[in-house]
């Protein structure tokens, strides 16, 4: 009880640092969630497409031009070559469609006339390309079977106008799941920082050579003493995890009580245990209290950045992702991202999540082995 | 008297260096035994071996007739240690620090509270109970260090240079506290290189150098080992060689030196040496300012035994 009480007295003396990292989680996590909410509501926009029509405004040419006009904005640009090049360069237009002479007649006659395209490299050009190719691929699929131009145009227009009916089968609020994913990803930083800082600090205090000597010569069993210290650290880690879980209920609402929430929670509990084992390992190496803050920044902040806890992994370069694979945070964040994308919980969907969790468990075992090795080496040197 | 510690042929080697070399001694119940020696003489190594903090190469250590081992928890309950370096938690205040270390021995809360209060009173930290170590002066910190080591009322106390870098007031307080512990029945093994402390405190002394016992006994017994029994210093001006030669012929005089206006006479033995020299100075009309006599110190004994000063 003495060791247990002293552990929490020392923790109480350092509560500021735990509060600081928790506030960071709640403030930045909350901010991130608001950002994600904004990014989920979007306004459709149309690309700028310029049409240079060398054909008559008739038949399929007319239909094609009308389709482009319906699905894009037509900028007011002079149609000479120099003006068109300038417009592309200054991004006044993203996409220029050159319709050749006799296009509609050649098309009906199956001569497969060639439409020339000039485009810039921006996303608008990509979008415009999709629009144009959609029409042309539909038209090409019908041209061989129908010889009447009016019929062909009608069929193309009908196909294009057909709405895709979407039935939402999932009752889960995807916005809230995204928010939860943001929160739990960000939580990895706070958990790592709080655990590494406090556990390393407390271990460095208890392992101080002089205090250590006093403990060894006392009538308390040294191994029992160490076990109490270990349990105190685990209890602290569990309380921290529980606190962040309660905070997630406050911030995210009922999502935590769904299957998604349960899997998120299991993942964060596993990560908390892993972070505790990392903290023990670092604590077994580091004895200098002044070095702890630096280590927290390198390990917690570094791994959170590398593994996509702050910035989604799709924005990270491949080289960074490759490095991230050696860190447990990557598998934790990856699991959160996968949970977010799950529509139905079945074995196929859960398999990669379970594999990630097993990898985290392997990390836990490896860190425990390393910690024991370090302790043995230190004891030998001592 | 009952033996509480029995050390036989204790040897501790670090590769080729013998830090403790075939050491044998006993400590008896209720005594304060001083281990005196310069830095590196093997005092702390001996204590660390006694406490099972270090493995030793050869020999045996028995405390209360039982072999001292790392897992001898019943035996450890009877032992208290005050290390040379202050070993306390900077994050805990005075009372919590003492309570923690006492709690490693005493599980019962009520008894522990009583013991902690008594320890605080013994070392004179009553007014500083809620102070943190960083708020304490060097002397008060040493007192806290002692309180943490003795709060559980051990029967044997190892004090490893507890007064290093302590102001005179705190030193007196600490020495008084140690005497009180002895008066309460504790047996104390006290290591130091301050011979004055040994003379004030210790019932018996062991002089160590290079891991070996050079001499042991009471302070008086050790002093008798010195060839000089009395040193007389006289502040005197203009003393010529003739008069110095005359002094050399006086009774019991062993050695005479005259340097920087100080005449130093070493006597082999005998009584009334001071009276004799005063008589002589009068007869020869030699004017002097101060004259004082000194008994040989343990440092003199150590100097004779090793050829070097105790604090070297």
Q: How distant is the alpha carbon of residue A71 from its chain centre? A: 32
Cβ–Cβ contacts within 10 Å for residue A276, how many?
A: 25
Query: What pLDDT is attached to residue A33?
Result: 62
Query: What pLDDT is attached to residue A41?
Result: 47
**Domains, chain B, ordered by start:** 3-224 (3.40.50.300), 230-295 (3.30.70.100)
Distance from the B255 Cα atom to the nearest Cα atom in chain A, whole angstroms: 48
Residues in chain B: 312
Query: What pLDDT is attached to residue A381?
Result: 46
Residue of chain B nearest A220, judged by CA positions: B104
Chain B residues with CB-CB distance to A6 below 8 A: 89, 92, 96, 100
Residue pair A72/A128 in contact (Cβ under 8 Å)? The answer is yes
The residues spanned by each domain of chain A are 2-39+173-381, 49-161
Q: Residue A88: how many CA atoms within 13 Å on its side-chain side?
A: 17
Strand partners, B70: none
Tokens of B132: 């943190």
The series of mean pLDDT values per 10 residues for chain A, 382 residues long, is 84 83 76 57 72 89 90 87 86 89 86 85 83 86 79 85 56 72 88 90 86 87 84 91 90 86 94 94 84 88 88 81 91 91 82 94 94 75 46
Q: What is the pLDDT of residues A293-305, one digit of tens each?
A: 888 889 988 998 8
Q: 3-class secondary structure for chain A?
A: CHHHHHHHHHHHHCHHHHHHHHHHHHHHHHHHHHHHHHHHCCCCCCCEEEEEECCCCCHHHHHHHHHHHHHCECCCCCCCHHHHHHHHHCCCCCEEEEECCCHHHHHHCCCCCCCEEEECCCHHHHHHHHHHHHHHHHHHHHHCCCCCHHHHHHHHHHHHHCCCCCCCCCCCCHHHHHHHHHHHHHHHHHHHHHHHHHHHHHHHHHCCHHHHHHHHHCCCCHHHHHHHHHHHHHHHHHHHHHHHHHHHHHHHHHHHHCHHHHHHHHHHHHHHHHHHHHHHHHHHHCCCHHHHHHHHHHHHHHHHHHCCCCCCHHHCCHHHHHHHCCCHHHHHHHHHHHHHHCCCCCHHHHHHHHHHHHHHHHHHHHHHHHHHHHHHHHHHHC
Q: What is the pLDDT along chain B (312 residues), one digit of tens a residue?
A: 788 999 999 999 888 888 899 999 999 999 999 988 888 888 889 998 999 888 888 999 999 999 988 888 889 999 999 988 888 998 899 999 999 999 999 989 999 999 999 999 988 899 999 999 999 988 899 999 999 999 999 999 999 888 887 788 888 888 888 888 889 889 999 988 788 888 888 999 998 888 899 889 988 888 877 777 788 899 988 788 888 888 888 888 888 889 888 998 888 776 778 888 888 888 888 888 889 888 777 777 877 777 766 654
B28 phi and psi angles, rounded to 5 deg: -100, 155
Dist. CA A74–CA A50, nearest whole Å: 6
Strand partners, B17: B14
Helix ranges (DSSP H) in chain B: 43-50, 73-76, 94-103, 109-123, 138-150, 168-183, 195-201, 219-224, 241-248, 273-283, 298-306
Q: Residue A74: how many CA atoms within 13 Å on its side-chain side?
A: 13
Query: What pLDDT is attached to residue B116?
Result: 95
Q: What is the pLDDT of residues A210-245, one digit of tens each?
A: 888 888 888 888 888 888 888 898 999 999 999 999
Residue pair B221/B286 in contact (Cβ under 8 Å)? The answer is no
Query: What pLDDT is attached to residue A378?
Result: 67
Q: What is the pLDDT of residues A91-146, one digit of tens each?
A: 888 899 999 998 888 888 888 888 888 888 777 888 888 888 888 888 888 877 77
A379 at the B interface (CB within 8 A)?
A: no
Mutation for testing the A interface, residue in B54, B89, B90 having most A CBs under 10 Å: B89
B207 at the A interface (CB within 8 A)?
A: no
Query: What pLDDT is attached to residue A356?
Result: 94
What is the pairing mode between strands B204-209 and A49-53?
Answer: unpaired
Dist. CA B225–CA A101, nearest whole Å: 128
Residue of chain A nearest B54, judged by CA positions: A382
Q: What is the dihedral of CA A320, A325, A328, A329, to 10 degrees?
A: 30
The conformation of residue B205, written as its DSSP 8-state character, comes to E
Dist. CA B119–CA A230, nearest whole Å: 30
Q: How distant is the alpha carbon of residue A339 from its chain centre? A: 11
Residue of chain B nearest A6, judged by CA positions: B100
- C-alpha pair distances (Å), A4 with each of A231, A233, A372: 8, 9, 21
The conformation of residue B301, written as its DSSP 8-state character, comes to H
Distance from the B110 Cα atom to the nearest Cα atom in chain A, whole angstroms: 14
Pick B87's closest partner by Cβ from A10, A214, A220. Answer: A214
Residue of chain A nearest B112, judged by CA positions: A2
The residue behind tokens 């006993």 is: B26
In the sheet that B262-267 helps form, which strands lie side by side, from edge to edge?
A: B253-259, B262-267, B230-236, B288-294
Dist. CA B236–CA B199, nearest whole Å: 31
Tokens of A114: 């060639």
Q: What part of B 70-129 touches A (C-beta under 8 Å)?
A: 70-71, 73-74, 76-77, 79, 81, 83, 85-92, 96, 99-101, 103-105, 107
Residue pair B227/B237 in contact (Cβ under 8 Å)? The answer is no
Please give the class, per CATH, of domain A49-161.
alpha beta
Chain A residues with CB-CB distance to B79 below 8 A: 217
* Closest C-alpha among A321, A309, A250, A313 to residue A275: A309
A224 at the B interface (CB within 8 A)?
A: no
pTM over 0.80: no
Query: What pLDDT is attached to residue A35?
Result: 60
Q: Is the dihedral of CA A102, A104, A109, A113 positive or negative?
A: positive
A40's CB contacts (< 8 A; 6+ apart) are: A174, A175, A178
B41 at the A interface (CB within 8 A)?
A: no
């Amino acid at each position: 009880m003495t060791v247990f009480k002293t552990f929490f007295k020392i923790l109480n003396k350092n509560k500021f640092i735990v509060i600081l990292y928790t506030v960071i989680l709640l403030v930045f996590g909350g901010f991130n969630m608001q950002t994600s909410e904004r990014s989920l509501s979007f306004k459709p926009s149309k690309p700028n497409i310029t049409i240079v029509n060398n054909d008559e405004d008739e038949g399929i040419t007319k239909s094609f031009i009308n389709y482009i006009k319906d699905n894009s904005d037509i900028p007011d640009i002079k149609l000479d070559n120099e003006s068109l090049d300038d417009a592309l360069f200054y991004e006044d237009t993203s996409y220029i469609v050159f319709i050749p002479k006799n296009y509609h007649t050649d098309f009906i006659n199956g001569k497969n006339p060639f439409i020339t395209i000039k485009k810039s490299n921006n996303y608008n050009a990509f979008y415009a390309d999709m629009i144009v190719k959609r029409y042309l691929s539909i038209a090409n699929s019908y041209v061989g079977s129908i010889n009447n131009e009016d019929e062909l145009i009608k069929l193309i227009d009908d196909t294009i106008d057909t709405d895709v009916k979407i039935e939402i089968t999932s009752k889960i609020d995807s916005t809230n799941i995204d928010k939860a994913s943001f929160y739990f990803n960000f939580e990895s930083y706070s958990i790592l920082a709080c655990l590494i800082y406090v556990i390393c600090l407390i271990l460095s205090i208890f392992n101080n050579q002089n205090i250590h000597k006093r403990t060894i010569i006392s009538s308390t069993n040294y191994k029992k003493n160490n076990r109490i210290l270990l349990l105190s650290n685990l209890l602290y880690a569990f309380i921290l995890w529980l606190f962040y879980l309660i905070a997630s209920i406050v911030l995210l609402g009922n999502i935590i009580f769904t299957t998604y929430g349960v899997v998120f929670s299991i993942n964060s509990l596993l990560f908390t245990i892993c972070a505790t084992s990392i903290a023990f390992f670092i604590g077994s190496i580091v004895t200098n209290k002044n070095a702890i803050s630096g280590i927290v920044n390198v390990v917690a902040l570094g791994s959170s950045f590398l593994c996509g806890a702050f910035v989604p992994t799709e924005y990270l370069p491949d080289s960074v992702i490759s490095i991230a694979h050696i860190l447990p945070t990557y598998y934790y964040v990856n699991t959160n991202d996968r949970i977010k994308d799950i529509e139905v919980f079945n074995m196929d969907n859960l398999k990669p999540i379970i594999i990630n969790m097993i990898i985290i468990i392997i990390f836990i075992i490896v860190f425990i082995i390393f910690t024991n090795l370090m302790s043995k080496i230190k004891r030998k040197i001592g | 008297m009952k033996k509480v510690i029995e050390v036989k042929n204790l040897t501790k080697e670090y590769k080729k260096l013998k830090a403790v070399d075939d050491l044998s001694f006993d400590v008896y119940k209720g005594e304060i035994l001083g281990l005196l020696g310069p830095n590196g003489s093997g005092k702390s190594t001996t204590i660390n071996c006694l406490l099972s903090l270090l493995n030793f190469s050869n020999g045996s250590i028995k405390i209360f007739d039982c072999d001292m081992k790392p897992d001898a928890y019943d035996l450890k309950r009877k032992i208290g240690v005050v290390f040379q370096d202050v070993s306390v938690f900077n994050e805990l205040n005075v009372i919590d620090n003492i309570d923690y270390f006492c709690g490693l021995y005493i599980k019962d809360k009520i008894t522990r509270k009583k013991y902690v209060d008594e320890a605080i009173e013994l070392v004179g930290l009553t007014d500083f109970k809620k102070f943190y170590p960083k708020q304490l002066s060097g002397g008060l910190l040493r007192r806290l260090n002692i309180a943490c080591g003795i709060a559980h009322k051990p029967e044997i106390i190892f004090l490893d240079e507890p007064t290093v870098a302590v102001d005179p007031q705190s030193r007196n307080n600490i020495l008084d506290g140690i005497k009180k512990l002895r008066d309460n029945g504790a047996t104390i093994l006290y290591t130091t290189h301050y011979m004055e402390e040994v003379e004030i405190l210790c019932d018996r002394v062991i002089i160590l150098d290079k891991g070996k016992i050079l001499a042991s006994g009471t302070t008086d017994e050790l002093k008798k080992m010195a060839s000089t029994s009395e040193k007389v210093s006289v502040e005197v001006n203009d003393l010529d060689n003739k008069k110095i030669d005359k002094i050399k012929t006086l009774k019991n005089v062993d050695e005479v030196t005259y340097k920087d206006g100080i005449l130093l006479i070493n006597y082999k033995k005998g009584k009334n040496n001071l009276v004799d020299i005063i008589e002589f100075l009068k007869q020869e009309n030699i004017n002097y300012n101060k004259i004082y006599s000194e008994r040989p110190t343990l440092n003199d004994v150590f100097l004779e035994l090793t050829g070097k000063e105790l604090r070297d």
